[in-house]
A and B are shown apart, each in its own frame.
Chain A
Amino acid sequence: MKPSIVQLVKMFLLGCVFFALVTPLLLLLLNSFAHEWRWPQIIPASFSLRAWSVVFSDPHIWSSIGWTVLIGSMVVCLNLLLGLPAAKALAYYEFKGKSLVETFLLLPILIPSLAIGMGLLLTMIRVGLADHWAGVVLIHLLPTLPYTIRILRAGYENIGAGYEEAARNLGASSWKAFWTITVPLLFPSLRAVLALTFVISLSQYVLTALIGGGQVVTLAMIYYPYLAGIDRSVTAALSLLFVLLPILLVCIFELVSHLSRKVVTTNQMRDET
């Protein structure tokens, strides 16, 4: 009798978790297609594409999506460029002062990025990085890089140094060892970094507004005025864009890596025959 009650409670909890995770997405979808949805209707009275057409008739929508994707991709690339070597060093080497460096690299998580952004603003204006996408990319490194290093380090620790060393001993260049051994093995970590970094970058309102000075118009910049408005369907449609963009990006990433792996294997097969 007792185990079945425990099982029931677990099932109930699982149901609650499922509900909490999934209903927001459904609600946004429903809302974005709602034509008329007044209190106290539980579901909309009628549906239409009105909200979506309002969103895509906003004169800034496409350029803001463009800037968001561009800035987000630059942030992802810089994160990988900086994070991969740092994570490797922390995963495979023991050296003096290691724990100090670890703590140092976590500082951007602890110290408010708003404080840093405000402090950097005057200098950024002086050197021309303010009101420019490059300054925004730079400041977006603060809330992303510590997580990237963390995730990649765990990834490196999981695979261990052995495989790459073996490839090197068999005569592969370090470049080839990296692309054929490390990248495929690190794939789950790389995907996590891609998704998380991109999401964090497109979630930055205050840093982008501060450093971008209203000149760098990302999706977050046009989202806030809609938030203050009363048209819930339009805000819901815009909200969905934020969720769809990273999903789309991860899908593209998966597709490209799948295709490139196919190319690599067919090349290898050709080499062997």
Chain B
Amino acid sequence: MKWFNPETIKPWLLLLPSVIVIGFLVGYGVWEAIAESFREWETGKWTVQYYEELLMKEAFWDSLFLSMYIAISSTLASLLIGLFLTRVLQRYFMNYRWKSLVWLPMLFPHFVAAYLIILFLSESGILSSLFYHFGWVNEIADFPFSIQSQHSAGIIFTYIWKEVPFVILMLLPIYQQFSPEEEATVRTLGGNSWDVFKTTEWPSLFPVLIETGIILFAFTLAAFEVPSVLGITYPKMLPVLSYQWFFENDWSNRPLAMAVMIITTLIILFIAFLSFWVTQRRRMHIARGR
């Protein structure tokens, strides 16, 4: 049989170490988390009581809405700003020096980025000092903006600063592939800039935007570091809530903490599946010539 053909087995041999490591960590970890969320923590009996309890908790729903709001708005804002900047400034970003500069925020851990937001935008931050010199505020309390309240702006700003460079670096390779001839073709046929964008750039941009969007959404929904620095006490983002329950005095809330993360996982997988389906449908449309 073909199975014994070494050329057939070779890619699998090369992939095996990664597949085993990821398969074990993800598979076993998720399985254990699911099992612990469905087991009574003292007796180990199977139960759905923790999910029932969770869905009755207002704290959970408030956290869920806050997390969705932050994840969706920071993802969309990063994608839009990243796309806009890449499109307008692509010529500069392809230059080696600018590209290294765009890399710079990638070197900052997320919690350091959160601290930067405190330095810039908090009541006693740089912006507030500048406002004083412009005569817009007279004392610290006058500063009109709070990074913690006001729709979690601090968290969202942190993510935007960190993720826009990521979006730019994901999109640049696509822009490098575009040829001026394609644009010229659309222009000779009487198309304007919008037509150029829609017919030559959008089809190749769309899948990458979707992919980048899913990566960002999954990350912001499930990340602990930034909201633990800039978040408020109530409501907390889902991972912060889960972590708090996980380490509460006795272990009685651990199944609840697991259930929170399992639900977070399901939301991400659902959104990822949905977007994957949309891109596949589009791809088939393109293949059919429409």
Contacts and interface: CB of A to CB of B under 8 A. Distances in A.
Interface of A: 10, 13-14, 17-18, 20-22, 24-25, 27-28, 31, 39-42, 81-83, 85-86, 88-90, 92-93, 95, 98, 101, 104-105, 107-120, 122-123, 138-139, 141-142, 145-146, 149, 154, 195-196, 199, 202-203, 205-206, 220, 223-224, 227, 232, 235-236, 239, 242-243, 246-247
Contacts of B286: none
A24 B157 CA distance: 13
B107 interface: yes
A223 B14 contact: no
B261 A112 contact: yes
A145 to B, nearest CB: 6
Nearest to A107: B26
A20 B161 CA distance: 8
B68 interface: no
B24 to A, nearest CB: 9
Main secondary structure of the interface of A (DSSP, over half): helix
A33 to B, nearest CB: 14
B246 interface: yes
B8 A95 contact: yes
When A and B form their complex, which 4 residue pairs have the shortest distance between CB atoms, in order from nearest?
A119-B33, A112-B222, A116-B29, A203-B109
Contacts of A20: 161
Interface stretch (B42-50, B126-134, B200-208): B126-134
Given A115-B261, A203-B111, A105 B29 contact: no
A220 B218 contact: no
Interface stretch (B54-62, B98-106, B177-185): B98-106
B197 interface: no
A116 B105 contact: no
Contacts of B262: 115
A115 B258 contact: yes
Interface of B: 8, 10-15, 17-19, 21-23, 25-26, 28-34, 36, 85, 88-89, 92, 101-113, 115-116, 119-120, 124, 126, 128-130, 132-133, 140, 161, 165, 173, 214-215, 218-219, 221-222, 224-225, 228-229, 239, 242-243, 246, 257-258, 261-262, 264-265, 268-269, 272
A86 B120 contact: no
5 contacts: A112-B222, A115-B30, A115-B261, A120-B29, A141-B21
B26 A116 contact: yes
A22 B26 CA distance: 38
B101 to A, nearest CB: 5
Given A118-B242, A119-B34, A247-B107, 6 more contacts: A115-B30, A119-B32, A199-B107, A203-B225, A236-B119, A239-B112
A145 B119 CA distance: 33
Contact of B129 (A18, A41, A98): A41
B77 to A, nearest CB: 14
A94 to B, nearest CB: 9
A141 to B, nearest CB: 6
Contact of B225 (A98, A107, A205): A205
B231 to A, nearest CB: 13
A195 B106 CA distance: 9
A227 B128 contact: no
B107 A246 contact: yes
Nearest to A195: B107
Given A112-B264, A243-B108, A120 B12 contact: no
Contacts of A111: 26, 30, 265, 268-269
Contact of B15 (A86, A154, A223, A243): A86
Nearest to B242: A114
A235 B109 CA distance: 14
A13 B102 CA distance: 14
B76 to A, nearest CB: 18
Given A42-B133, A111-B26, A118 B258 contact: yes
Contacts of B268: 110-112
Contacts of B111: 203, 205, 220, 223-224, 227
A202 B112 CA distance: 11
Contact of B109 (A24, A101, A202): A202
